[in-house]
Amino acid sequence: TAIEETLVLVKPDGVARNLTGEILRRIEAKGYSLVDLRMLQADRELLANHYAEHEGKPFYEPLIEFMQSGPTVALRVAGNRVIEGFRVLAGTTDPTAAAPGTIRGDFGRDWGLKVQQNLVHGSDSIESAERELALWFA
Ligand code: DAT
Ligand code: MG
């Protein structure tokens, strides 16, 4: 297998809860390599591009609002099968249902908001990883 790169985001809830270090620790402990890192306040244009596949869905507007609520940490992470591997580390989308041992399962919960605050994003395919890395590390 070829070495892949993926985009990981520590979303505004993860940054606000001081979980950036813990999330980085898990990625590094798994054996993946951190290639690049930046902290930024995402604007609507970036987020509309990033979440284009979800435009029109009921959670889209609250998601875009939430993602602008504070700084995000963007990580370029490399390793064999890292795209799949990080999504396993992250756990399922709904943090209530995410397995313990995963980032979302250990640190996430339902806060009663319209949006799922689930701490992290990970690209879901080689194509989306390339597209998303170009957006966040332009
Ligand atoms: P993932 O982040 O696990 O790849 P996704 O791409 O389907 O999930 O959705 C992107 C984000 O949108 C997700 O992290 C949280 C939010 N979201 C998804 N489904 C949702 C839902 N049913 N209700 C509220 N927010 C949702
Ligand atoms: Mg997704």
* Average pLDDT of the chain, as a whole number: 98
Catalytic, 121? Answer yes
Whether residue 116 has its Cβ less than 6 Å from ligand 1: yes
Question: Residue 54 sits in a domain of what CATH number?
Answer: 3.30.70.141
Q: How confident is the model at residue 2 (pLDDT cuts 50, 70, 90)?
A: confident
Atom 16 of ligand 1 has which residue's CA nearest to it? Answer: 116
Q: Which domain holds residue 106?
A: 3-136
ipTM above 0.85, yes or no: yes
Distance CA 88, CA 64 (A): 24
Q: What is the largest CA-CA distance in the chain?
A: 41
Q: What is the pTM of this model?
A: 0.98
Whether residue 124 has its Cβ less than 6 Å from ligand 1: yes
Count the domains in the chain. 1
Higher pLDDT, 86 or 2: 86
